[in-house]
Amino acid sequence: MEYYCLSDKGKLREKNQDNYLVVSNKDQDFLALVCDGIGGNKAGEIASFEVTHYFQKLFASNDGFSDLAQLKSFLEYHIRQASHLLYELSYQNTDYEGMGTTITGVCFSKHGDLVINAGDSRVYGLKDQKLTLLTSDHTYVNELIQRHMITPFEAKIHPKKHYLTRFLGVYDDGYADLYELKDEYDLYLLSSDGLHGYVDHKMIEKVLLKQEDLSSKCKELVELALKAGGFDNITVVLIDKGGQDGK
């Protein structure tokens, strides 16, 4: 397993509300997450940190799973617990009131692989020279697209394009999409919307297809987002399951 992670606060934001996580358990199952604190709410950086920190401690001490169903149940339960944690913290401290975060990621195990998502951070897979989006954004405009009420182009300029319909925190009971990956991919990309919100899909694909190491690809993707304006925090996690150990 080879991976590389990079995060940048961008050019306009005062704080970086993104946090990421890469961790293995005692059975060498692998979990990677990207969390993007909800913009416009208090303490978004606290929310994203608390969720990644929660899973860091939890997963690192885990002994492993008997099957994929047990892994899925474990993640479902603890995603809800993490959301409850944020809600409790916001209840106890008015400075944290209304804080929340997206969560997206992958979990690789000997029993199978899972994708996790709530919000508008994303997971992509690269295979056969093609980049495929593996998650579906939980946004107001994406719901309108799915109902054929607006086009993808109209979504990009819609006044409510940043409105999320699912996230952790803010409310007591948060949850995420969680489903099995049926295909193996050569490369996995996790990103906050500071990347894919401003860098075209084809451009991301072009960078990932280059014969360069993961570090160079991550740095180029972040640089492209900065050149596009750097309007938001940018986080990129690249994973090569077949690569040598390292980061």
Q: Which residue intervals of 93-213 are DSSP H helices?
A: 140-146, 152-156, 193-196, 201-208
Res 83: pLDDT:
96
- DSSP per position, 70-114: HHHHHHHHHHHHHHHHHHHHHHH-GGGTT-EE-EEEEEEETTEEE
DSSP of 6-20 = EEE-TTT-SS--EEE
Mean pLDDT (whole number) for 2-14: 96
3 state SS for 209-238: CCCCCHHHHHHHHHHHHHHCCCCCCEEEEE
Q: What is the mean pLDDT of residues 106-110?
A: 97
The predicted model scores a pTM of: 0.93
116-134 pLDDT, tens digit each? 999 999 999 999 999 999 9
pLDDT band at 40 (very low <50, low <70, confident <90, very high): low
Average pLDDT over residues 184-213: 97
Least confident of 36-40, 98-102, 122-126: 36-40
Instruction: Give pLDDT, residue 98.
Output: 87
Provide mean pLDDT across the span 148-160: 76
Q: Which two tokens stand for residue 183?
A: 């295909």
Q: What is the mean pLDDT of the chain?
A: 93
pLDDT of residue 190 exceeding 60, the answer is: yes
pLDDT band at 46 (very low <50, low <70, confident <90, very high): very high
pLDDT at 222: 98
Kindly list the structural domains of the chain, giving each domain's residue range(s) and its CATH number in brackets, ordered by start.
2-135+165-240 (3.60.40.10)
Cα dihedral value 136, 138, 139, 145, nearest 10: 40
What pLDDT, on a 0 to 100 scale, did the predictor assign at position 2? 97
Structure tokens at 2: 């080879």
pLDDT band at 200 (very low <50, low <70, confident <90, very high): very high
Segment 26-37 mean pLDDT? 97
3-state secondary structure of 46: helix
Q: Which pLDDT value is given to residue 247? A: 52
